[in-house]
Amino acid sequence: MEKRVQITIGESDLIFETGKIARQANGSVTVLYEGSVILATACSAKSEGKGLDYLPLTVNYSEKYYAAGKIPGGFIKREGRPKDKEIRVSRLIDRPLRPLFTKRYRDEIQVIVTTISADQVNPPDILAINGASLALGISDIPLLKLVGAVRVGMVDGNYIVNPTFDQIEESKLDLVVAGTEDAIVMVEGGGAEVSEDELLDGLSFAESYIREIVKVQEELVSKCGKPKIEVKEVPFDNQLIEAVRAEALPLYQEACFIHTKMERQDALESAGGKVIETIQEQFGEDVLPKVCEILEDIEREIVRKSILKTGKRSDGRGLKDIRSISAEINILPRTHGSALFTRGETQSLAITSLGSVNDEQRLDDIEGEGSKSFMLHYNFPPFSVGEVGFSGGPSRREIGHGHLAERAIEIVMPEKDEFPYTVRLVSEITESNGSSSMASVCSGTLSLLSAGVPIKDSVAGVAMGLVYEDGKYAILTDILGSEDHLGDMDFKVAGTKNGITAFQMDIKISGISRDIMKEALEQAKEGRLFVLDRMGKVINEPASSVSTYAPKIFTINVPTDKIGTIIGAGGKTVRSIIEKTGADIWVTDDGTVTISSRNNENAQIAHEMIRKLTEDVEIGKIYEGKVKRVTDFGAFIEVLPGKEGLCHISKLDFKRVNKVSDVLRVGDTVKVKVTEIDSMGRINLSRKDALPRNETHTREDTPSRRDSYRGHSRNG
């Protein structure tokens, strides 16, 4: 039976429907907002995944070209592998939902969200989060709480909910917030150097809308929701727990506080092995999975208790301490820019490559066509954590972390007319122990500066953590990987000295107060400024010039009516310039001409040729022209490409000239001054006004040239 609920969010109705489409799924809904519609489905496998120690949840988001009335490009004419954007939205859906399942549920879950209508005005990603929540909510899959999500923008100092694409472009803040009826559980976004208070106010603005959305979802669940699958919680044998604790506590108390990551991991593995060996002798091999869970709980208990009671962390730092920082630039001889940034046991090698317009990334999706001139790609090879693993295309995690770092830096990139290069920044994570995405922001900034990219300001990032128990809490600056795993929050904040440019937060507990959030943001600001200070000691201004190995690029802005002159009939003129100089030339519809060449001299020659093509003749200006025709009454001289003027015989010299050929012949190069442009556009020139009075002016006054012409005549 079809059911429908709706709520007004902003200026439009958010509509949830079920019972019409995809009725064989465990749960399915369509979500409508103006002309954008998504279909969300949730299915669960019938048998439990054996031997799994994690929730087997998969989220796939896809956008169909037909949603916007488009046909895919290329030869195949159908959607292919997921685009980066689709992967990022898949992660955006996954992150708030994953913590809201019963801990021991092991049946495989698949959530598929598809954009089936796109009005190219309202972003469908917010609908996708809400739809995935409700599809799980009305299914028999045991999601503990429903999730609502909104986007918050800030235009002209005012917060707006679910802004359109155009409003997002104008907005100082792009904030995606997801939460339950109780609290916020996920935040992601970017800003144009927003303050901590502006971000907090944006979160507060979102909360009331989230509660309303959750409430309307609950209304639909109450009407047609299926009974939830019962998850049997098998209680642990108290005798087993006590035996494991007795063996493990003294070993883990020592192992958990070895300062270096690899040694600490080895010590914990060794201690766990000893405990397992002893316990199996007493209880048999069947208890191994339970023993591993108990050991993880013991590690969590020891680390968290130390942080809350003494402020001591696994590597010996205090709560606000940032690990030792070192940085180098220009460490790779042939790249356009490079930097190595190391913070504790996390290290990023960032490389900047400068390219031309031809290197821009072409974008074609349901939102329309476009291009990107700045890209940041993040790679996380298995050796960075001392492991053996698959090394192939980028993982979802790599795409997500790269987007966060790109968003952090993009706001300070120069405008295209100021720096006409396409910029690709690659972060190679060579070591990892927490916050490698924020290390990528730091290394990326240093690499850009070393490459001579005139960024508006330096950007740094830091990851914050939280341990919260029974009303007591501790906020951690610059968290380790283990503190992310064992703690209650992962809050990444990046920005300049003036404000925040990107952020991402995941919360594992039911929620945190505004006061805790404010404290975390203030502590993050302290950490960010500390890191920026250390980076500034290495480099704080862009290099004075780009690398000698980078292409040389010039841009010219010409009137649009001159575009045809540059291109020529059938492209003849521009092809001729390319053939003569070897430079690459692009002309856009707005009159921007971009010239690129690996050879600086060739680029300058092409630049000068185009400048002359598009330059207008000016009265009073002296030009070096070429004689095209000679008549009895004067010479026609080309002063600019395609622009000829007449130098009358009376204007050839200060003294009387009997014949034009006595002074000029076809092919001669001569300086002339523009004296007049009449109402019909005819150009009048003067040779004598372009030369000093004491200079020799007639051809006969130069014997070598006169003789050469006479000799040529005789030989002819």
Note whether residue 407 is domain-resident: yes
H helix or E strand, kind and range, residue 606: helix 600-614
Residue 250 DSSP one-character state: H
Q: Is residue 304 domain-shared with residue 352, that is, in the same domain?
A: no
Distance CA 87, CA 90 (A): 5
Q: Dihedral, CA atoms, 439, 95, 204, 461, nearest 10 degrees? A: 0
Distance CA 178, CA 583 (A): 50
pLDDT at res. 715: 35
pLDDT at res. 224: 95
Number of domains within the chain: 5
List, for residues 464-504, the tens digit of each pLDDT value: 999 999 889 999 999 999 999 999 999 999 999 999 999 99
Confidence of residue 49 (pLDDT cuts 50, 70, 90): low
pLDDT at res. 264: 95
pLDDT at res. 286: 84
What is the mean predicted confidence (pLDDT) over 616-629?
Answer: 91
% of the chain surpassing 70 pLDDT: 96
Confidence of residue 590 (pLDDT cuts 50, 70, 90): confident
Distances (CA, A) of 227 to 55, 102, 137, 208, 230: 20, 15, 10, 28, 9
pTM comes to: 0.86
Note whether residue 547 is domain-resident: no
Distance CA 118, CA 446 (A): 40
Q: Is residue 494 domain-shared with residue 439, that is, in the same domain?
A: yes
Note whether residue 543 is domain-resident: no
List, for residues 132-149, the tens digit of each pLDDT value: 999 999 999 999 999 999
Distance CA 214, CA 202 (A): 19
DSSP β-ladder status, 184-194 and 325-329 = unpaired
- Compute the chain's Rg from CA coordinates: 35
Q: Is residue 608 domain-shared with residue 633, that is, in the same domain?
A: no
Q: Which residue has the higher pLDDT, 681 or 446?
A: 446
Q: Is residue 142 domain-shared with residue 281, that is, in the same domain?
A: no
* Last residue in a domain, options 183, 202, 224: 224
- 368-403 burial by CB neighbour count: b if 16+ within 10 A, else e? eeeeebbbbbbbbeeebbeeeeeeeebeeebbbbbb
Note whether residue 108 is domain-resident: yes
CATH code for position 583? 3.30.1370.10
Q: 338: closest CA among 355, 326, 350?
A: 350
Note whether residue 23 is domain-resident: yes
Residue 568 CB neighbours (<10 A) = 15
H helix or E strand, kind and range, residue 673: strand 669-677
- Does pLDDT of 40 surpass 70? yes
pLDDT at res. 698: 52
Residue 480 is which amino acid? L
Distance CA 344, CA 277 (A): 34
Q: Is residue 155 domain-shared with residue 285, that is, in the same domain?
A: no
pLDDT at res. 613: 84
pLDDT at res. 234: 72
Q: Is residue 50 domain-shared with residue 199, that is, in the same domain?
A: yes
Q: Is residue 330 domain-shared with residue 444, that is, in the same domain?
A: yes
List, for residues 68-89, the tens digit of each pLDDT value: 999 998 888 999 899 999 999 9
Distance CA 274, CA 265 (A): 14
Distance CA 337, CA 550 (A): 10
pLDDT at res. 529: 98
CB 158 within 8 A of CB 121: no
Note whether residue 361 is domain-resident: yes
CB 406 within 8 A of CB 415: no
Residue 545 DSSP one-character state: S
- Does pLDDT of 374 surpass 70? yes
Distance CA 159, CA 203 (A): 10
Q: Is residue 636 domain-shared with residue 513, that is, in the same domain?
A: no
Q: What token pair was written down for 709?
A: 């012409």
- Does pLDDT of 308 surpass 90? yes
Q: Is residue 606 domain-shared with residue 629, that is, in the same domain?
A: no
Distance CA 625, CA 643 (A): 10
pLDDT at res. 97: 96
Q: Three-state secondary structure along 323-385?
A: CCEEEEECCCCCCCEEEEEEECCEEEEEEEEEECHHHCEEEEECCEEEEECEEEEEECCHHHH
pLDDT at res. 707: 40
Q: Is residue 130 domain-shared with residue 16, that is, in the same domain?
A: yes
Distances (CA, A) of 310 to 146, 380, 475, 520, 593: 37, 34, 13, 19, 63
H helix or E strand, kind and range, residue 715: helix 703-715
List, for residues 90-128, the tens digit of each pLDDT value: 999 999 999 999 878 888 999 999 999 999 999 999 999
Note whether residue 231 is domain-resident: no
* Last residue in a domain, options 257, 278, 310: 310
List, for residues 524-536, the tens digit of each pLDDT value: 999 999 999 999 9
State the residue range of the domain holding 267. Answer: 238-310
Distances (CA, A) of 708 to 184, 670, 700, 712, 715: 91, 18, 11, 6, 10
Q: Is residue 379 domain-shared with residue 444, that is, in the same domain?
A: yes
Note whether residue 232 is domain-resident: no
pLDDT at res. 629: 93
pLDDT at res. 615: 81
pLDDT at res. 537: 97
- Burial environment of residue 58 by CB neighbours within 10 A (0 to 12, 13 to 18, 19 or more): exposed
* Last residue in a domain, options 195, 224, 253: 224
Confidence of residue 393 (pLDDT cuts 50, 70, 90): confident
Distances (CA, A) of 332 to 406, 451, 598: 22, 11, 19
Q: Is residue 202 domain-shared with residue 260, that is, in the same domain?
A: no
CATH code for position 685? 2.40.50.140
Rounded to 10°, the helix 514-536/436-450 angle is 40
CATH code for position 333? 3.30.230.70
CB 528 within 8 A of CB 462: yes
pLDDT at res. 711: 35
List, for residues 418-440, the tens digit of each pLDDT value: 999 999 999 999 999 999 999 99
